[in-house]
Amino acid sequence: GNSVTQMEGPVTLSEEAFLTINCTYTATGYPSLFWYVQYPGEGLQLLLKATKADDKGSNKGFEATYRKETTSFHLEKGSVQVSDSAVYFCALSPQAGTALIFGKGTTLSVSS
């Protein structure tokens, strides 16, 4: 079946540290992959996406590369800020007509 596995949180970093949040997936076919972010008191919003192998999605300094050989889509940022504190969700879209499948979410806390 289709599933998404994220690293357990919380992840606690100091400002300007390097961030990696691991995400691996299981899917039939060739899914699209997404990262969504949820800031405190808000709903989720799309952060970035990649629709085929070797694509790199990027937004707001965050990047993730679709790695088919390792079935991974790890989220990275070179220098985090306090404002990046949020919950990050990895997700996949297996095929047309099927709803997104989300991971459990990883809480990131950045201190100054």
- CB burial of residue 14 (10 Å; 0-12, 13-18, 19+): exposed
41 contributes a contact to another protein by CB under 8 A: yes
Nearer Cβ to another protein (70/97): 97
32 contributes a contact to another protein by CB under 8 A: yes
- Asked if 34 and 51 count as a contact pair (C-beta separation under 8 A), the reply is no
Instruction: Please select the residue that binds another protein; options are 42, 69, 70, 112, rule is CB under 8 A.
Output: 42
44 contributes a contact to another protein by CB under 8 A: yes
Instruction: Please select the residue that binds another protein; options are 19, 98, 110, 111, rule is CB under 8 A.
Output: 98
73 contributes a contact to another protein by CB under 8 A: no
| Rg from Cα positions in the chain | 13
Measured between alpha carbons, how far is 23 from 5 in angstroms, rounded to an integer?
6
